[in-house]
């Protein structure tokens, strides 16, 4: 082998190694899914991980950002025709014992509400075994479910978990000083309210007690056969006008 042939072979090997390295780098850097929100750990879209029992259904779960992919996964469904896969709209589906679950995530609550209205109009005119529910910005379906209770139990496992992070200061955050003022004001108002309630109950209770005592006294005086001004106290029967009242025994008698 002369030097020219050796250089050709070495050049071909270098090109082959470079191409293999480039392809490997492309496979590493190019994400498997094109999603608005992916996990930082494994690059899997968060929507897929929100499927119930994700670890057991991940092999057959399907992630879609267009109608054709979704239709190939769930088949021909009447609701698929009104899904607008605008940029950011995503869907995830998997087969469960209760039926095929489909979760559609919209980028805004308004888009989800608009889609919810359309879905209810379509499903309201059908008698098929489709259970539907709006969960946060998720519009979730269970297709081909034989048991409605099982389908609803599956939908109960779908959780919309999103965290809102403000780019600047949170306008709804209350400072420590304002929180102290609000707490003190609430405590003061609560204390005054309890005191006023207590005074009111005491006054009303006193009035009721006094009125009852007055009625009992009036009834007792009306039942007496002779007048006495002793006011219920012990007195000596010196005048003989209260003969029906037994006199108290004096000390020493």
Nearest CA to 83 out of 68, 63, 101 is that of 68
- Please state, rounded to an integer, the average pLDDT across all residues of the chain: 78
DSSP bridge pairs for 105: 90, 138
Note the pLDDT tens digit of each residue in 96-108: 999 999 999 998 8
One pLDDT digit (tens) per residue for the chain, 253 residues: 556 665 666 666 655 665 555 444 444 333 444 555 666 566 688 888 889 998 899 899 999 989 899 999 998 888 888 888 888 899 999 999 999 999 999 988 899 999 999 999 888 766 667 899 999 889 999 998 888 899 999 999 998 876 555 566 666 666 778 888 888 999 999 999 999 999 999 999 999 999 999 998 888 877 766 555 555 566 666 665 554 545 444 444 4
Q: Give yes or no for a contact between 136 and 160, defined as CB atoms under 8 angstroms apart.
A: yes
- CA distances in angstroms from 184 to 3, 179, 188, 191, 194, listed in the order given: 92, 8, 6, 10, 15
* Confidence (pTM): 0.52
Q: Which two tokens stand for residue 116?
A: 């919810």
Note the pLDDT tens digit of each residue in 145-174: 888 899 999 999 998 876 555 566 666 666
d(CA 174, CA 180): 10
């Amino acid at each position: 082998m002369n030097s020219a042939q050796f250089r050709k072979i070495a050049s071909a090997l270098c090109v082959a190694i470079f191409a293999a390295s480039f392809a490997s780098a492309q496979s590493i850097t190019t994400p498997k899914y094109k999603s608005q929100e992916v996990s930082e750990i494994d690059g899997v879209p968060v929507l897929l991980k929100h499927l119930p029992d994700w670890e057991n259904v991940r092999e057959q779960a399907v992630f879609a950002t267009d109608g054709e992919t979704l239709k190939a996964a769930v088949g021909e469904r009447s609701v698929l025709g009104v899904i607008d896969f605008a940029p950011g709209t995503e869907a995830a589906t998997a087969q469960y014992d209760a039926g095929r679950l489909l979760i559609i995530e919209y980028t805004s609550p308004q888009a989800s509400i608009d889609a919810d209205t359309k879905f209810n109009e379509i499903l309201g005119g059908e008698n098929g075994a489709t259970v539907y529910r709006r969960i946060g910005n998720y519009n979730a379906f269970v297709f081909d479910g034989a048991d409605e209770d099982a389908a609803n139990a599956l939908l109960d496992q779908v959780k919309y978990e999103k965290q809102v992070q403000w780019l600047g200061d949170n306008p709804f955050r209350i400072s420590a000083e304002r929180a102290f003022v609000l707490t003190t004001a609430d405590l003061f108002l609560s204390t005054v309210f309890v005191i006023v309630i207590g005074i009111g109950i005491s006054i009303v209770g006193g009035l009721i007690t006094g009125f009852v005592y007055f009625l009992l006294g009036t009834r007792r005086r009306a039942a007496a056969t002779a007048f006495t001004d002793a006011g219920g106290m012990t007195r000596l029967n010196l005048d003989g006008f209260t003969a029906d009242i037994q006199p108290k025994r004096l000390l020493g008698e």
